[in-house]
Amino acid sequence: MHRIALVGMPNTGKSTLFNRITGGNARVANWPGLTVELASHRILLGARMVQMVDLPGIYDLSGGAEDEQIAQSFLASTPLTGVIVLLNATQLDRQLGLALQLKALGAPMIVALNMADEARSAGITIDTAALGQQLGCPVLLISAKRGDGMAELKQALGQLPGQEVQLDFSHLAPAATFHDEEARLHHTHVSRPPTMPASITTRIDRWILHPALGLPLFVLTMFLLFQLTFAIGTPLQDALGSGLDWIKSTWLEPSLAGAPEIVRGALLDGLYDGVGTVLTFAPLIFLFFSLMAVIEDSGYFARAAFMMDGLMARLGLDGRGFVMLMMGFGCNVPALMGTRVIRDPKARRLTMLTIPFALCSARLQIFLFLCSALFTPAQAPWVLLGLYLASIVIALGTAWLLRRRFTSSEPFALELPPFRLPLFRQIRLRGWGETRSFLRMASTMIVTGVLLVWFLTHYPNEHHSYAAMVAQVLEPVLTPIGIHSEMSIALIFGFVAKEVVLGALSVITGMQGNALSAHLASSMDPVSAISFMLFTLIYVPCVATMATMHKESKSVWFTAGSVVWSLGLAWVLCFVFYQGTRLVSGWF
């Protein structure tokens, strides 16, 4: 199999180019450190089938971070037909060294200068022909985001000799060796205006990075995102729920009228109600992550990390920890893997302890449902914003409490990308990618989970089931924090995956959609609902997250300590909130 590696520094657009060439769906965002494992895809180049491999971003071939070691190990051990070296056309003064290192190793390469449109806007001109002669390979101007130069790049890939080359790292010179040559090539072949005009990015950054206004603006931006999600998504959710109810009453119930009760109950009250309740959140998931893609692709999250670095340093972290926390809002698993960009082991472990508190998309489904069921449209965005802020405060508080056990002196360096207008295609791909992942989960784990819940709530019988026995054991622990028996069973299945919680509630109550919302509204008050959501936010996220933490930390004790800490912290904070709120409300 012919293999072509895609190599470049962080935030040069590698994943965007990978998706553009292969038609894949690697996650794309305008911040560094996003690709933390190898993504590969087979494509047909001429008459040859080629495997394209997207490597983690690396600054040079002798770096010591784990993500850099992954890329180095692949390049050193895998015979390659070619290497695409992706460089930012506006930053060649500090990126040509990577191409020079690969040239010294004898790599058959093509140098693609990405973001050529931004270079033109900045008045930068590049003599690609002369630069190509110096590097001994084709040099092409492209825009992976817009698709410019893709035909020329694919043509150059098709013209690679086809012989596999094994790169020899045994005599690799350090990056500093190439600094003089890098400076000479940039001075000779790259021309830029004597003075760069004040860009839109600079003007926006005066507000975004303002020491007093920056953080309130970030909170306001996130609140508007939640507001739009509820305003647009709730009607779509209600319409989908009504459609599923109609299908059940019109088609499924008559079709199964003659079936045995056990079959009818398992299929209708178990499988259909459970999975149907979860599926109604597909519009909200699509909307939320499409809007998040706008913020990520714009470059705003990288600035949030930069702005938070001063605070993070006092907590024993740095701005990269905040970036990983932001990634955790999508899913804790890739965020934990993303900590590989942190070289210091202690700083990395402290960051890993904070990530499970990030409000991931699986928890979001639960909170969206409960917020819409128990709070008014005006109240719901504030409750959701409060949960997001709570997740950040709890994560940072954990770092502050444990900072002395994980002290680090590693300096913080983060490159701020320019603001960019997200393309509709990237927004759509992000929204659909998260929704597809959600639907895939619904077709596997959620189906299994809701059927298991149905069995546990109906055997040996409905009045004295296995689930009721478990709830009775948990009652002394969960009652003081306002969580009653129905919700406690759902929490147990949340250990496996938070996506199962809503399906479990539907099966336990025998209701779905609007009927389930009405039931929860009558059986829970706002205080107990917030306590339940707070507990769901803090306690163990899911099995996949814990497995990833064990894999990345290589320590059973570290992983077990994280579980014990999150469970204990969840109970204590919910007890203080629930009992304290009851006490205060009693005074008035």
Write out the binding residues for GTP: 8-15, 33-37, 54-57, 114-117
Peptide bond into 460 cis (omega under 30): yes
Q: What is the DSSP string of 232-246?
A: HHHHHHHHHHHHHHH
Binding residues for Mg(2+): 19, 22-23
Q: What is d(CA 73, CA 67) in angstroms, rounded to the nearest whole number? A: 10
Query: Residue 52: CA atoms inside 13 Å, Cβ hemisphere, count?
Result: 24
> How many other CB atoms sit within 10 Å of the CB of residue 567?
14
Is the CB of residue 341 less than 8 Å from the CB of residue 347? Answer: no
Is the CB of residue 111 less than 8 Å from the CB of residue 182? Answer: no
Position 40: which residue type?
S
Q: What is d(CA 7, CA 303) in angstroms, rounded to the nearest whole number? A: 25
511: which residues sit within 8 A by CB, 6+ positions away?
A: 273, 519
158: which residues sit within 8 A by CB, 6+ positions away?
A: 45, 46
* Cα distance from N-terminal residue to C-terminal residue, the chain: 74
Q: What is d(CA 381, CA 231) in angstroms, rounded to the nearest whole number? A: 9
Closest CA to 99 of 137, 127, 62, 70: 137
121: which residues sit within 8 A by CB, 6+ positions away?
A: none
579: which residues sit within 8 A by CB, 6+ positions away?
A: 480, 481
Backbone angles phi, psi at 72, to 5 degrees: -60, -45
Q: What is d(CA 125, CA 104) in angstroms, rounded to the nearest whole number? A: 26
Which residues pair with residue 19 across a beta bridge?
none
Q: What is d(CA 117, CA 124) in angstroms, rounded to the nearest whole number? A: 10
Q: What is d(CA 174, CA 178) in angstroms, rounded to the nearest whole number? A: 8
Q: What is the DSSP string of 92-106?
A: GGGTHHHHHHHHHTT
Q: What is d(CA 398, CA 401) in angstroms, rounded to the nearest whole number? A: 5
Mark 312-347 as b/e (b = at least 16 C-beta within 10 Å): beebbbbbbbbbbbbbbbbbbbbbbbbbbbbbbebb
Binding residues: 8-15, 19, 22-23, 33-37, 54-57, 114-117
Position 404: which residue type?
R
